[in-house]
Amino acid sequence: MAVLIFLQLLIFLKKMIKDLIVEKKNHLGLITLNRPAALNSLNLDMIRRIHKTLEIWERDDTIFAVVIKGAGEKAFCAGGDILCLHESISNGFNQHMNFFKEEFLLDEYIYQFPKPYIAIMDGYVIGGGMGIVQGADFRIVTERSNLTMPETSIGYFPDVGASYFLSRCPGFIGSYLGVTGVTIKAEDALYAKLADWYLPANQLNFFLQGLGLLTSDSFGEKTISQLLTQLGGRKKAISPSLSKQRLLIDSIFSLSTVHDIAHSLKMMKNADHKKWAEDTLNIMSKHSPLSLVGALQTIHLGRGLSLQECFAMEIVLVERWIDVGDLLEGIRALIIDKDNSPQWKYRIDELTSSRLQALLPSIF
């Protein structure tokens, strides 16, 4: 029996090591998400080990900063492993709630981590991937970066603290991004305040090498900023596409209901904006109506809540969402069967105020 337990433990540890690489290089702690074939998506073991590692490094006087990155060039992190979540929910297990709770705890902890936390957001940064970077001191994007919170497309709502970080984007950009789930690139990420620095991808290894050479006397946020600048990094966005639609986004996505937003987009007469309005309306029409409403409302509420209050609101909503939302159907239609024909539970005109209060009492 002891031998069997030891072998099971060995297999478990090998899996953890394979999925996540943790290294110490001089005064630098380096965490690499190591599931490139799965776009470095997160599982519960990875979340637990990242959290534990950060807690250890917080108390380690030889570690002065932490870097988190993804293996490969395609993605930093494609979010949570939603197939595992689907299996847990479908079979009546509770693993999905363990995942959400521990993921949220990690994400919230990152905001409060006392040492410089550097996130290299190279490639796709999706959903849960945003959760482990938005609390970083240095959120670095490259020309390969693609950021998105696409939850409404799979019958869910933007979580991992999105009610906090999207609500703090300039104007109503966050509401637009959360409701539509559109993907933005590096310049728009800088403009939306979802990234801090742009660094060419071919300079990333030099940046890591430079960090590894810093001594305890020279390690600090000022020195890290100087290193980024020396390697061609910049903080200012250049010709972000979001700026071209900024007034339009603010005027439409400041409206209080999804119905009003859809109506405003439908009624767009201005020839310069009509194509954008039609495209935006088309995107929204494919997504779960309940998810659109949930996204808009949580981001709206997040404007008046603290970080802790946002995470508390989201975890309460998750537990309710599993029962009344469209998550299972969205994953089935887009990820499992890939028929791209989800049968959402509600139409937008069915989601009256009283119906929403009954379905989602925690946010209405």
Q: Which of 44-48, 179-183, 271-275 has the lowest mean pLDDT?
A: 271-275
pLDDT at 334 over 50: yes
Q: What is the mean pLDDT of residues 261-289?
A: 96
Q: Alpha carbon of 17 to those of 35, 75, 129: distances in Å?
A: 11, 19, 19
Q: Which of 55-59, 218-222, 267-271, 311-315 has the lowest mean pLDDT?
A: 218-222
Max Cα distance, the chain (Å): 74
pTM: 0.93
User: What is the predicted pLDDT for the residue at 17?
Assistant: 52
Q: Which pLDDT score, from 0 to 100, does residue 5 have?
A: 44
DSSP at 75: E
Domain extents in the chain: 18-358
Q: What is the pLDDT of residue 134?
A: 98
Helix axes 44-59, 2-19, angle to 10 degrees: 80
pLDDT for the residue 19: 96
CA pair distance 306, 162, nearest whole angstrom: 12
Which residues, 6 or more positions from 334, have their beta carbon under 8 angstroms from its beta carbon? 153, 154, 340, 342
With bands split at pLDDT 50, 70 and 90, how would you rate the model's confidence at 217? confident
- Pick from 98, 55, 100: which is nearest to 79 by CA? 100
Amino acid 349: pLDDT: 94
CA 244/CA 279 separation, integer angstroms:
15
Strand order in the sheet with 124-126: 75-77, 124-126, 146-148
Range with the poorest average pLDDT among 218-222, 268-272, 301-305 = 218-222
Of 159, 74, 55, nearest to 121 (Cα)?
A: 74
CA-wise closest residue to 124 among 196, 183, 50: 183
Report the CATH superfamily, name and number, of domain 18-358. Answer: 2-enoyl-CoA Hydratase; Chain A, domain 1 (3.90.226.10)
Give the catalytic positions in this structure. Answer: 80, 128, 151, 159
d(CA 277, CA 282): 9
